[in-house]
Amino acid sequence: MRLSGCIEMLFTELPDFPARIHAAKEAGLDAVEFWRWRDKDIDAIAIALEETDLPLTCFSVEPAGRLVDPATHRAFLRGVGETIPTARLLGADKLIVLAGDELPGVPAAAQRKAIIDALRLAAPIAADGGITLLLEPLNTRLDHVGYFLDRTLDGLSIIEEVDHPSVRLIYDIYHSCMMDELPAAILPGHGPLIAHVHAADRPGRHEPGSGTIDWPAAVAALNACGYEGAIGLEFRPTGTTLAALQGLRGRLGA
């Protein structure tokens, strides 16, 4: 299984993102990813990707919008259109989108419909640019209190209702397990709807093997549901990044 290093959280001892890309290559990672793009030196990142021959897995649409709120949809669609040229320049074919925090006093069904409406509008824009949009559920127990979409099955049901091949889900094992979900219980039959996976252990959001998640079982569930993409390493190393990566493939059972 291919490993994609999130260089927002890995190699933070290095001063800039091009240096982190080179470090990821030297560490034997298969790809890299990051979060925001407007705050980065995109030209320097493009050069580092070319020098290392590492693919860029994904990054986030900016502005992200708040998909639960129709008032933000115009800005979100503009952000999709503005982010795609950077994705194509850097060779990424996936972009992350977020549902946003819940709206007080607005029925959950209306907020869910707003997410679906926004993704349906964005899907043809993404398809024209050769991009897959990735909707990400996040845990509300600790890291993202107030976020609307915190359950994997709810996210998958939204993807099913959008019903467009350019809209898929990120399955984040850490966020999922923080919500007490079991991969083997929620993944069967949903592999084709998942286009990327993130990994960190619980508690602490540190490297796999540092906490309580059964990683061989989680990876086996991914394999059983037909997932064939990369695992994005989106964790905070307990020590150095290189120490956290040592023996990681074995701990994952990958």
At 19-75, the pLDDT tens digits run: 999 999 999 999 999 999 999 999 999 999 999 999 999 999 999 879 999 999 999
Token look-up 């107030």 returns 146
pLDDT tens column, 222-253: 999 999 999 999 999 999 999 999 999 999 98
Rounded CA gap, 245 and 129, in Å?
Answer: 34
For residue 254, the model assigns a pLDDT of 67
Token look-up 């979900």 returns 181
**Nearest to residue 235, comparing CAs of 225, 250, 248, 223?**
248
Sign of torsion, CA 177 181 182 183?
Answer: negative
| Mean confidence (pLDDT) of the chain | 97
Q: For the domain covering 3-249, report its CATH number.
A: 3.20.20.150
Sign of torsion, CA 176 181 187 154?
Answer: negative
Confidence bin at 144 (pLDDT 50/70/90):
very high
Q: Would you say the pTM of this structure is higher than 0.85?
A: yes
Residue 13 has pLDDT above 90, yes or no: yes
